[in-house]
């Protein structure tokens, strides 16, 4: 049977729209991440999964250690739920309520490290908690973008801390402030980890590959120097780096003690364009055919699940099964209807399903309250996403 037939059979009693996770693909992707990490532990990036059942499943595998959350409120919730006792919050927080919950919870304070990249982040914590607050674990973020020339910035806009000297200066400031303990460093090289080198034309791929090779050399040297400078001042518990797209290069750095990864577990469409690894599609959603406006066009109900990032076609969901379908350029994926065209549309009838994949891994979970976990030709269980547990972390 084709995958479409297997998925149709497994979910025959469900009314679309709904989302599934192919557990065999999810587990296989986890095994591939571990292979690529070559023995270095992987911290699971929660925003790429957003489903507690799946997070707990992958954390139970040797080689996956701890969570990287995107929100402090999310991190505190995971401690309360017993998901993990080792959590790094990847982005600075301005959430006073979440900071107060953190300070009031002994288990959470022992488990969670918040992100800082300036003294103002420390000031914000003091303002939220008052002087004399309990000790808060902090992680210092080093900017990992590539700046080959003055004024040229390639990568994500994150920390203002770029040089080893700046990292050491901020470390001294943290160490001088009561109520804080510096426990880790992080640097995310998004221009390597989050940018596929086999997604565009040959010329574009060559340019991206050249940039990434140069950037890998530069960040390895600068990160090592920054880590040395900070370790001379503080006893760091961890140095985190990378993402699903840079597991090999980040893991090869001696200064890095752990790798962050999450999207590689799900295999969204934005991760189809990497030359050195190919995750299996593990999460997808089904939409019903509700109109047949032309022989080679079928209109699906709903489907406008657009991913974050630049407003371009790469952020649209993509028809997956049956093969041979594509979105219409004029309509794209719509709030209440999504037309698809192609030879395969001739064989679709009202009520048939079309399977689509989302562009970014975890954001599909914001559209559905539950994932139906499929093993082979059956639904093994139905589990809540964050939304299904009435959690919305922004």
Indicate the range of 35-44, 145-154, 169-178, 244-253 predicted with least confidence: 145-154
Is the pLDDT reported for residue 52 higher than 90?
Answer: yes
Over residues 237-267, the pLDDT tens digits come to 999 999 998 999 999 999 999 999 999 999 9
- Which pTM was predicted? 0.95
- Identify whether residues 294 and 212 lie together within a single domain: no
In a domain, 67, yes or no: yes
The total of structural domains in the chain comes to 2
Query: Does one domain contain both 91 and 46?
Result: yes
Instruction: CATH number of the domain at 321, please.
Output: 2.40.37.20
The answer to whether residue 330 is domain-embedded is yes
3 inside domain: no
Which of residues 230, 265, 300 is at a domain's end?
265
Range of the domain at 119: 24-265
Residue 241 is assigned to a structural domain of this protein: yes
| 300 and 162 housed in the same domain | no
* pLDDT tens per residue across span 194-237: 777 766 778 888 888 888 888 889 899 999 999 999 999 999 99
Average pLDDT, the chain: 95
Regarding whether 300 and 235 lie in a shared domain, the answer is: no
Across 44-53, 127-136, 202-211, 326-335, least confident range: 202-211
- The residue among 237, 265, 293 that closes a domain is 265
What string of H, E and C letters represents the secondary structure of the chain? CCHHHHHHHHCCCCCCCEEEEEHHHHHHHHHHHHHHHCCCCEEEEHHHCCCHHHHHHHHCCCCEEEEEECCHHHHHHHHHHCCCCCEEECCCCCCHHHHHHHHHCHHHHHHEEEEECCHHHHHHHHHHHCCCCCCEEEEEECCCCECCCCCCCECCCCCCCCCHHHHHHHHHHHHHCCCEEEEEEEECCHHHHCCCCCCCCHHHHHHHHHHHHHHHHHHHHHHHHHHHHHHCCCCCCEEEECCHHHHHHHHCCCCCCEEEECHHHHCCHHHCCCCCCCCCCCEEEEEEEEEEEECCEEEEECCCCCCCCCCCHHHCCEEEECCCCEECCCCCCCCCEEEEECHHHHHCCCCCEEEEECCCCHHHHHCCCEEEEEECCEEEEEEECCHHHCCCCC
Answer yes or no: do 365 and 247 share one domain. Answer: no
- Are both 304 and 247 inside the same structural domain? no
Q: Are 345 and 237 contained in the same domain?
A: no
* CATH, residue 158: 3.20.20.10
Same domain, 83 and 196: yes
Residue 343 pLDDT level (bands cut at 50, 70, 90): very high
Residues 72 and 132 in one domain: yes
Domain boundary among 238, 265, 292: 265
Q: Clarify whether residues 220 and 305 are in a common domain.
A: no
Question: Is residue 119 domain-shared with residue 239, that is, in the same domain?
Answer: yes
Mean pLDDT of 91-116: 98
Task: Establish if 5 belongs to a structural domain.
Answer: no
Q: Check whether 276 has a pLDDT greater than 90.
A: no
Q: Please tell me whether residues 145 and 216 are part of one structural domain.
A: yes
């Amino acid at each position: 049977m084709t995958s479409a037939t297997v998925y149709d059979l497994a979910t025959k009693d469900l009314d679309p729209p709904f989302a599934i996770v192919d557990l065999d693909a999810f587990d296989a992707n986890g095994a591939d991440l571990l292979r690529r990490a070559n023995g270095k532990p992987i911290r699971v990036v929660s925003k790429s999964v957003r489903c507690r059942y799946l997070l707990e499943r992958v954390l139970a595998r040797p080689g996956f250690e701890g969570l990287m959350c995107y929100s402090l409120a999310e991190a505190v919730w995971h401690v309360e739920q017993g998901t993990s006792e080792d959590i790094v919050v990847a982005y600075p927080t301005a959430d006073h309520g979440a900071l107060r919950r953190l300070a009031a919870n002994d288990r959470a304070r022992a488990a969670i490290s918040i992100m800082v990249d300036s003294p103002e982040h420390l000031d914000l914590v003091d303002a939220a908690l008052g002087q004399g607050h309990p000790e808060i674990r902090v992680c210092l973020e080093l900017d990992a973008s590539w700046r080959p020339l003055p004024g040229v910035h390639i990568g994500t806009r994150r920390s203002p801390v770029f040089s080893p000297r700046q990292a050491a200066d901020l470390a001294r400031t943290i160490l001088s402030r009561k109520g804080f303990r510096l426990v880790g460093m992080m640097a995310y090289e998004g221009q390597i980890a989050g940018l596929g080198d086999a997604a565009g034309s040959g010329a574009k791929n060559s340019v991206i590959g050249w940039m990434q090779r140069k950037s890998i050399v530069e960040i390895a040297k600068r990160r090592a120097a920054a880590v040395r400078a900070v370790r001379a001042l503080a006893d760091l518990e961890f140095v985190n780096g990378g993402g699903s797209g840079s597991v090999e290069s980040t893991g090869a750095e001696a200064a890095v003690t752990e790798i962050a990864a999450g999207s590689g577990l799900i295999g969204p469409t934005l991760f189809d364009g990497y030359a050195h690894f190919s995750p299996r599609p593990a999460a997808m959603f089904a939409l019903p055919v509700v109109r047949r406006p032309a022989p080679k066009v079928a209109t699906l109900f709903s489907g406008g699940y657009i991913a974050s990032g630049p407003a371009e076609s790469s952020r649209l969901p993509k028809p997956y099964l049956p093969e041979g379908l594509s979105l219409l350029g004029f309509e794209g994926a719509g709030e209440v209807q999504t037309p698809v065209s192609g030879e395969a549309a001739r064989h679709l009838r009202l009520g048939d399903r079309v399977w689509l994949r989302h562009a970014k891994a975890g954001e599909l979970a914001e559209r559905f309250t539950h994932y139906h976990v499929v093993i082979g030709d059956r639904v093994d269980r139905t589990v809540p996403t964050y939304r299904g547990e009435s959690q919305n972390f922004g």
